Chains A and B, each alone.
Chain A
Amino acid sequence: MGFPVSLRVDDEGIGEGTADALFAWLREVDARFSPFRPDSEVCRYDRGELQLRDLSADLTEVLDLCEQYRIATGGAFDVRLPGRPLDPCAVVKGWSVQRAAELLTAAGARRFILNAGGDVVVAGGPWRVGVRHPEHADQLCTVLELTDGAVATSARYERGDHIVDGRTGRPATGLLSLSVVAASLTEADATATAAFAMGPEGVDWAATRPGCEVFAVDAERRVRRTPGFPVVTVAA
């Protein structure tokens, strides 16, 4: 689960120690939940060395979330694809970065931006968050304003067709990019990934999720968004 993490804290008195604790937590998550580390809890559970009752409360929570999204998407979002190892990354990422943001809040931070691989948690805004254009890495396709909350984007432009529709076992190709704004990154990231796996119908599905606002670009380069998506109108 390698991804760059950027942290900006504008509060006085939030020291390096808080940032160190945040990065230590993310490294701990990687060690415990990575499907690429044979000694991780996820791999040991997948190999049958751990039973469900032996799992940590954290992993149990993550797997419960995965199951909720699998059911809600009719199987399009599935962390247990046939012939592949258990891979809960899509939920772990948003969940762990949301937890990291809560570490900052608990340490007294009130105004910050935490950006983990393009998934963003902000507090104490208003902040302006650009959404990367799906075809031009140096351009934006929209800008939104967020005071407190999270935004996550799922797309094909970087890792290729890596999100699989669990109903067909084939890569999801119906959308170029889909962003979700929600109160927590746990919700925003999982909803964005799950909707992306569903394809164009996932845009409508995500729009019905309580508290979620959606901005999607389909394969024909059409934009569909919810009226509540907090778009900033900018002069060109």
Chain B
Amino acid sequence: MKRVIPVLVLSVAGLIPVWRYEPSIGTTTSTTTEAVSTPTPTPTATSSSSSSASPSESAAASSKKVVQGTAINTSKGTVQVQVTFEGDKISAVSMLQQPNHPQTTAAVPVLIEETLKAQSSKIDTVSGATITSDAYVQSLQAAIDAKGA
């Protein structure tokens, strides 16, 4: 009988990977696991997730209401959003399911880093935080306008 126990332990250990295995037709990650396992029926049975987030359902103006959008299957995985309404205003939007796919997870483009340079050049106009007229007078745009006049 002493040998049985290690064998059982091994079988359990062998079962865990099987348990954790999910068919990989578009793997999804979830921030709220509960919501993934028990998707609540959406208020409007349409195919679009945005229409199910319509505030027309909320009757009480000031109450908080959480609405889950339809889970949408895309070629990159499943997308499902949850919208929190306070009255008829959206106060929060969260992703219940989003594709674990490079195009979603690495959407930030690689930024180019440079050193700050000061330069002058032939230009047509200047972008800058020029609000007050005092600063405008000494700004480049003033010079451009004076030249054009």
Please judge, given known A-B contacts A222-B113, A223-B114, whether A117 and B108 are in contact too, CB under 8 Å: no
Q: Is B127's CB under 8 angstroms from A159's CB? A: no
Cβ–Cβ contact A117 & B131, under 8 A = yes
Q: How far is the CA of A180 from the CA of B1 in the complex (A)?
A: 73
The answer for the CA separation of A128 and B140 in the assembled complex, in Å, is: 13
Which residues of chain B have C-beta atoms less than 8 A from A222's C-beta? 113-116
Question: Is B145 at the interface (CB under 8 A from chain A)?
Answer: yes
Task: Indicate which residue in B119, B120, B127, B130 contacts A158 across the interface (CB closer than 8 Å).
Answer: B130
Partner among A71, A117, A138, A225 whose Cβ is within 8 Å of the Cβ of B112: A225
Whether B112 lies near A226 (C-beta < 8 A) is: yes
Contact of B128 among A71, A153, A223, A225 (CB under 8 A): A153
A158 and B132 in contact (CB under 8 A), knowing A6-B125, A226-B111?
yes
- Chain A positions 115-168 with a Cβ under 8 Å from a chain B Cβ: 115, 117-120, 122, 127-143, 151-159
CB contacts under 8 Å to A, within B104-149, are 107-133, 135-136, 138-141, 144-145, 148
Q: Is the CB of B111 within 8 A of A224?
A: yes
- CB proximity to A under 8 Å, residues B66-105: 89-90, 92-93
Chain A residues closer than 8 Å to B111, beta-carbon distance: 203-204, 207, 214, 224-227
Residue A221 is within 8 A (CB to CB) of chain B in the complex:
yes
Cβ of A208 under 8 Å from chain B: yes
Q: Contacts of B126 on A, CB cut-off 8 Å?
A: 115, 118, 129-132, 140
Q: Which of B92, B119, B122, B129 counts the most chain A CB atoms within 10 A?
A: B129
Q: A71-B90, A204-B111 given as contacts; is B119 within 8 A of A139 (CB)?
A: yes
Known: A2-B133, A139-B120, A236-B119. A152 touches B110 (CB 8 A): no
Residues on B close to A: CB < 8 A? 89-90, 92-93, 107-133, 135-136, 138-141, 144-145, 148
Contact B122 A128 (CB under 8 A): yes
In the bound complex, CA of A173 to CA of B50 (Å): 36
Partner of B119, one of A134, A140, A204, A227: A140
Docked complex Cα distance between A127 and B127 (Å): 12
Shortest A1–chain B CB gap in Å is 9
Tell whether A179 is near chain B: CB-to-CB under 8 Å.
yes
* Contact in complex: B135, A143 (CB < 8 Å): no
Which residues in A have their C-beta under 8 angstroms from that of B141?
4, 6, 115, 118
B61 to chain A, nearest CB (A): 10
> In the bound complex, how far is the Cα of B116 from the Cα of A135, in angstroms?
10
Interface residues of A, Cβ cutoff 8 Å to B = 2-4, 6, 8, 67, 71, 113, 115, 117-120, 122, 127-143, 151-159, 177, 179, 203-204, 207-208, 214, 217, 221-228, 232, 234, 236
B148 A179 Cβ-Cβ under 8 A: no
Contact B114 A225 (CB under 8 A): yes
B124, chain A: closest CB distance, angstroms: 5
Whether A133 contacts B118 in the complex (CB less than 8 A), given A6-B125, A113-B124, comes out as: yes
Alpha-carbon gap, A3 to B132, bound state (A):
6
Closest partner residue, chain A, to B118 (CB atom): A139
Residues on the B chain within 8 Å of A140, using CB: 118-121, 123, 126, 140
Q: Give Cα A162 to B120, complex, Å.
A: 28
Q: Which residue of A lies closest to B89 (CB)?
A: A67
Q: Name the residue in A115, A130, A131, A177 with the highest tally of chain B Cβ atoms < 10 Å from its Cβ.
A: A130
CA distance A11 to B145 in the complex (A): 17
Can you report 7 residue pairs joining A to B where beta carbons are below 8 Å apart?
A132-B127, A151-B127, A177-B128, A222-B116, A224-B112, A225-B114, A234-B119
Assess the B114–A118 pair: CB atoms within 8 A.
no
